[in-house]
Amino acid sequence: MNPLLQDFNTAPFSKISNEDYKPAIKKGIEIAKAEIDEIIHNTETPTFENTTVALDFTGEKLNRITSIFFNLNSAETNDEIQKIAQEVSPWLSEFGNDITLNEALFKRVKTVFDTRESLDLTSEQAMLLEKQYKSFARNGANLKEDAKIKLRKIDATLSKLSLKFGENVLAETNAFEMHITDESDLAGLPDSEKEAAREVAKSTNKEGWIFTLDYPSYIPFLTYVDNRELRKKMAIAAGKKGFQENEFNNEKIVLEIVNLRHQRANLLGYKTHAHFVLEERMAETPEKVIQFSNNLLEKAKPAALKEFKNLENYAKKLDGIDQLQKWDGAYYSEKLKKELFSLDQELLKPYFKLENVIGGVFEIANRLFDLQFEEVFNIDKYHEDVKTYNVTDLNGNFIAVFYADFHPRKGKRNGAWMTSYKSQQIKNHINERPHISIVCNFTKPTETKPSLLTFNEVTTLFHEFGHALHGMLANTMYNSLSGTSVSWDFVELPSQILENWCFEKEALALFAKHYETGEIIPIKYVEKIKESASFHEGMQTLRQLSFGLLDMQWHGQDPSKISSVKEFENGAFAETTLYPEVAENAMSTAFSHIFQGGYSAGYYSYKWAEVLDADAFEYFLEEGIFNKEVATKFKENVLSKGGTEKPMELYKRFRGKEPKPDALLKRAGLI
């Protein structure tokens, strides 16, 4: 019996074999099609219940199966899973098109939509109906038959291309290792990082130390190793991902993706892919995004140039370096930061033992939102590293299942993300609670030390946990509006606001305890963390804006004349470049956010959400960071509401007014 086709509550990972996926997905599509047919062949007049709601409940089985499959393709993949992904992705995109391009189904949806004024709907019902209608209209339901065929072809190709893009990036990440046998080459690198590299070498039966392009290996190497040539080698290797003359080159794929997205947008009556995407975002238009970005750029650029000049002078004074290169940035920034604030990442790490940080984020969630987390060992998991928790409220009511997967592995892509295995909805009067997961790549424990996080990793954990709260506290009727199903430039608010607690003395006292002595992090360190929070914020802002503007350039114009990824990129970066150009590196060929993930024409949303998060956190600062009243307003108007209303309405209900960028500029030290 195929475990994926049985009824299950939590995902039955240990029972699933790779052979189960294809037949299960095939069957899931069949079941979903039958559910759709039932709606179409209903002889009664289309109503909100028999059409709109019925459609929202379709495909549940398929969604559960594909969420397991694609989550594992990111967190625990192998060649076989990747091959299956290439096969099933076109099936799924074809099935998606079968729904949105189904004339009989659209006719029913449109009938309900056209009578919406007389239906006396709640705001959530009205939103469901509007989103459903738009998902048809925006995906080709009004097209003529030949155009529909063209659209299907584009979608099938795009789904394969973005998968291939991601596989190539992962292959390039895994293909590189720097094997060092002379310890003097590692001067400057902290012992804990050396030990981690030695364990990687040991695991492959080699002497010495091995460094990889996985972030917990790569970032410390660039930050601490004195040997400039080796830093250069490492940085160039990372920048070459997808940009080498080999089978994993992504240049053609990038150009194909942007051209197909543009053709798709044109086919649907939009000027560009960015116009298509942004119609459904808070920002609304590419012009507004570019204006927003340029506005911040104007404030950040003078600060960034000044910071860069200071860093150059510092490197020259220290080591006689005439020209600061990309592989020097993290190294000299860390040294300068240490000098200015007497603050060293290595000094902080002993206070951030992973288990303590997890305990801390749980305690903060408890104080703000009345949540309790209990680690349980009876929930199936896909890898022994994964931790599983039952989440309840203060009265013991079940809220969610929570999975957490913290360390790098060969089958896991870089970075950190939140995802879900089951979304929340209310069906047959039962509030079905969600199963939420976060996946990170944090420093592993070694033989002599537990997993000790850098401060950057601490904020990453809080960030992903903020997304998880958005998923766990979801409380809506319909799954398509539930949890993180919100417009993309609003989705980062819950994650980014939670990072703020990492900088607050009251919050740090709960979990920042020395792993050997139990001593709470000294107040002088807390003050330095806060002081140094806006260190090089001009340069950081410029960097984020440069990625957002590159994304807008790729997707906000007709790309058909672009022949060189590299040249195009250099043009897009012209206004934001600080470091000299590296000929053998490109950003786009490994820019997974926009070519593999869902951030195309949406990368700006990190900065957009920062404006929201700084403004929202200012409210907490005014009333107290654990103020129950403010936390409850945030929970009731933002975290639990999902996409049931327009984001700005939800925000204003929480905050009492629209957000202004002032809080962000102040926090960043830019005004």
**Residue numbers annotated as active site:** 464
640/321 Cα distance (integer angstroms): 53
Contact at 8 Å (CB) between 179 and 210? Answer: yes
146/134 Cα distance (integer angstroms): 21
Contact at 8 Å (CB) between 569 and 588? Answer: yes
- From the number of C-beta atoms within 10 Å of its C-beta (0-12, 13-18, 19+), residue 116 rates as middle
User: Chain-centre distance of CA 45, in angstroms?
Assistant: 42
Q: Tell me the Ramachandran region of residue 477: left when phi exceeds 0, alpha when psi lies from -120 to 50, beta otherwise.
A: alpha
513/517 Cα distance (integer angstroms): 8
Residues whose CB falls within 8 Å of the CB of residue 646, separated by 6 or more in sequence, listed in order = none
Contact at 8 Å (CB) between 461 and 443? Answer: no
Calculate the CA dihedral of residues 647, 659, 500, 304 and round it to 10 degrees.
Answer: 120
Contact at 8 Å (CB) between 113 and 153? Answer: no
CA torsion through residues 56, 59, 60, 65, sign: negative
Which pair of structure tokens corresponds to residue 436?
A: 């939420």
| Amino acid at site 395 | N
Kind of pairing between the strands at 209-211 and 430-432: unpaired
Beta strands in 382-427 (DSSP E): 387-393, 398-405, 417-422, 425-427
609/600 Cα distance (integer angstroms): 16
616/493 Cα distance (integer angstroms): 9
Q: Which residue has the tokens 């970066």?
A: 573
